[in-house]
Every structure is written in structure tokens, then in C-alpha cells.
Structure 1
């Protein structure tokens, strides 16, 4: 677990005291980095829809413990090239994946709204955590690479705790690590079902970060934001002791 200094709060019982966040495509612009990796691999990202569908399929198998991370990467790469009629073996798939991975990692970076939002939350006395579905070493490397290694009070990774979002247990593990009740914690992520609704089912305040702007307002009982710049405004109503910062809102 990565620790950060504790900050005192003046919140009454039942008020939000912590915010958990997903990593990929929430804080970190993973799609942009992945597209860069694909361009390095095949010279273009025009095949992105095929790569994305293939990744969704094989990453789900990883999350469900059907494949380890390395095997997932190899099988995904073989399946991607097979979709275009090229059959490659495990060795060649691993070689190509290493090329893609190096290019992707060199392109890792935060969304422009991530650091201002995290700074506002931290400066306001809100505790911070990460909840992410990923292998441990890989995800911790990613968090460190974008300068967030010392930001969070808790880092909860599916590869370490043995359960993955949207399983309620991973959200409750984060709450336990923070020493808070679920109703005192919000979770923000880019996946409606995996993040927002999964958190809500676990008793947290789920928030969907819909960067594609496909929805606005709420989806059922889940509030929707289109940028992390909107998160302070959403939370201020539940955290009246925290001052609004207009330059980060809207």
C-alpha cells in the first residue's frame, strides 16, 4: 500500500471523506498511449477498433483469472494479427508485444484535468485512493511513471487483493484501507457498470466519468461528469466544509 500524509477533516459523520479513482482512462489517458503503441506495432492506428475489441475480450479473461497477464498479452497479439489473416507463434507474438509495450509506456501521461482535481481534493482534506483492475507490478509502475506514487492513502489493485471491479469486495477493501464506511467514500471511474454502478452496489457513492459525453446529468441514481474538472462542483454539495475553487469547476 502506498501511503500519503493524513489530512484532518471537519466533516460530520456520513459526509464524504474520501474519493477513490480508477486509473486507466480516468486519471491516465490510456487510450492515447495504447494508440501510440499500435502505431508503433503496425504503422497506423486505423485498426484500433479491432485492437480494442480484442483487448476487451482477452483482458476480461485476465480479470477472471483465466489467463495471467503475460499470457493475455501474447494471446491478444496473436488474435489481433489472426484477424487480418496472419498466424504468428508465441515467440513472435511476445516480440511484437514488447515493441508495442515499450512505445505505449513511453506515451503514458495524465489527462490535463487529473492533477488539478487530485490537488484540489488533497488540499481540501479529502483522502484519496486508487481502485484498479490490473496486475500489481505493471500498475504500480504506471502510477509511478505519471508521478502519482506518493499521492494516495491507499492503492487497491485487483492483482493484489484477488478480486476485481465490479465485485463489491474490492470497493470494501479500499474503504477498510481508508478506515471509512462505504457511505463516506465516493468512487469515480470511466466504466459505468464496472466503476460507478459497481461502487454503488457496494454502498459507495458511484460517479461515472463519461469523457465521451454520451450522457449528462445522471444515469439512474449514478451522477455523470464529463471531466474531472466537474468533480469538485459535484462534491461540494456533499462536503459543505470544503471551499469551492471556481478555477477548477466547469
Structure 2
């Protein structure tokens, strides 16, 4: 499917994670699968045990959260990021790889973390599937508006997700926090989106997403409505055709 870009048409700005594809649920499922593979399946879910605090602690300790290309990257996303593909700086790449190794050594009590890293990445990639409503819903929206994807994360990972989910063709543009050097809630991100809209002679009509903090902030900056998404459910836009 290829959607032609139409200059001057209203633009619907759409979030990615937990709006079009599962994030939190996929994260937990991939972790449980990996722990089970290595004989460490706990009785409780990863959210109820030590797993995610360990992941978060190790990620914060790296200092990589402040690297412009990784702004908006969560600790669990960093766990399956290919840092060699995502970053140019050799030291940052090495720090990212070391982070992943430390996490798996702590969780599995193994000296060699490489097998677990590979299993988790594969499990997580296999779970990058759009919610049931998404393909038809995006096609319907695209018949009226141009669609842009606006998302927090690294350029490599967010674009990888779009490819894995088969959603890239629906979007005329993709704006990623790691490319802008600011998260969606930041005025710098909003200004970048506004500049691109002005360059194409287009007007934003709404921001569609699950987060009040990021999607709501972007909508407020642009002066448009935030259409709140409840995970897995198609939102009602209620936007007139001449918006």
C-alpha cells in the first residue's frame, strides 16, 4: 500500500507505541518468554517482581538517556535496541551494549549474556504487530487527512517498529524524538513539527495518542485537539471533513 502525499491537506498526527502497536504488554510477554527459555520463569509477572526495577536502574546508570539520539527511549526499549545501528559514537555504542549485558547477567546470573540478548530481541520483534483496528482505521483516516507519525524513541528503533508492523506506507512523514533531539512533550519537538507543517503548507487537525503527558502536550503546543486512545481500541475522531 502506498499513500500519495497531498500538499495542503490537513495532517493528523498519530503516536505509535500503545496507540498503534502494543508496548507494555509486548514488553512483559517478551521478558516472560526469555526468562522461561533460560529457566528463570517467576511465579509473578515481570511488573510484580525485580525485573523492571533492575532494567530501569541499569539504564539510568548509563547516562545514555541524555544522548540526543536516545531521548525518549525507555529502559525496556533500550534492552532490544541495536546500539551499533542506532548510534554513531563508539563510546555510546559500547555503553549501550554493556548496559544490555549487565541486565541479563543480573537477571539470569549468567556470565555470557549474548544468548539472552538475542532471544529477547527476537521475541520482542515478533510482537511488533498492530492492534486489530489499525490497518483499516489508518486507511479510513488517510482517505481524509495526511497522516504523520510522531513518536518518542530512537530513530533506529521507532522506524524499525514501523517496518516490522507494516505501517510505514501509511505515513507521509515520521517525526522521532531521537532525530529532533527533544521529547514530544518539549516545545522544541512541537516547533519542529510546526516548521515541517508550514513548509508543506499544511495544518494540523489533531494529535492521536495514548499519553496526556506527551501527545496532549504536543496537541496543546499546536493548538489542536488531543484524541485520547485507550489501548487496543480505535478512537472516534469526530473531525469534520473540511478540518
- Residue-pair matches, total: 210
Within the candidate set 174, 193, 205, 1:155 is matched to 174
CA distance in structure 1 between the aligned counterparts of 2:172 and 2:221, rounded to whole angstroms? 23
CA contact (8 A) 2:68 2:178 kept: no
SS state at 1:150 partner: helix
Q: How far apart are residue 56 of structure 1 and its match?
A: 5.8
SS state at 1:109 partner: coil
CA distance in structure 2 between the aligned counterparts of 1:199 and 1:184, rounded to whole angstroms? 9
In the TM superposition, 1:18-29 aligns within 5 A as 18-29=11-22
Aligned to 1:191: 211
Aligned to 1:96: 116
What stretches of structure 1 of length at least 5 have no aligned partner? 12-16, 212-225, 243-250
**Does 1:5 find its partner at 2:7?**
no
Q: Where do 4+ consecutive residues of structure 1 move more than 6 Å?
A: 180-183
CA contact (8 A) 1:190 1:209 kept: yes
Q: How far apart are residue 103 of structure 1 and its match?
A: 1.0
Q: Whose relative contact order is higher, 1 or 2, with alpha carbons under 8 Å and at least 6 apart? A: 2
More helix by share: 2
**Does 1:47 find its partner at 2:45?**
yes
**Does 1:200 find its partner at 2:220?**
yes
What stretches of structure 2 of length at least 5 have no aligned partner? 71-77, 84-94
In the TM superposition, 1:1-250 aligns within 5 A as 4-7=3-6, 17-43=10-36, 44=41, 46-49=44-47, 50-53=50-53, 58=59, 62-65=64-67, 69=78, 70=83, 71-72=95-96, 74-75=98-99, 78-79=102-103, 82=106, 92-124=112-144, 126-179=145-198, 184-211=204-231, 227-228=233-234, 230-232=235-237, 234-235=238-239, 239-241=240-242
